[in-house]
Amino acid sequence: MRSGLGHIETETTEADESDDKTPVTFEYFNADSKNGNWDNPVAKAITEATGVTLDVSYPVASQGDAKEDVALMIANDEYPDLIYAKSNATDLYAAGALIDMTDLIEKYGPNIKKCTEMSWKNYSGVKMIREFISFLMRV
């Protein structure tokens, strides 16, 4: 089962989870290409508080269409840690690259649910993550 964090394996305990600020970088593909890189004040504050950095990439197609980029990810079976694929999410789902994270977030992510003012019951796990990342990328 692919979680999107295939190349990062860590073990933590409850005692050290909140204090661990070991630097880690997640690859993030943003099909929207209109948000900034991980260099705004909010991003810097998140990195300082958590050690987390996003390496943001955008579509390379001349029209800014992510379809080619997503098709290449699928063909190579190589995915970034986080993907905002817009209309190409169905292709990723059909390829088995996405999972419904609703149950995982319910069990392990109570703070993710607290980060949104929108009703949790109206969101699937994938949509919630998309909204959360979009929120983090705003200046």
Compute the half-sphere exposure of residue 119: CA atoms within 13 Å on the CB side of its CA: 2
Residue 60 to residue 53: CA distance in whole angstroms: 22
pTM for this prediction: 0.62
In 73-115, the DSSP E strands lie at: 82-84
What is the identity of the amino acid at 42?
V
Are 42 and 138 a contacting pair, CB within 8 Å?
Answer: yes
- The pLDDT tens digits along the chain (139 residues) read 333 444 444 444 454 455 778 899 999 998 886 666 788 888 889 899 889 999 988 887 656 678 888 999 999 999 999 898 888 888 998 999 988 888 888 888 877 777 654 555 555 565 666 666 666 655 3
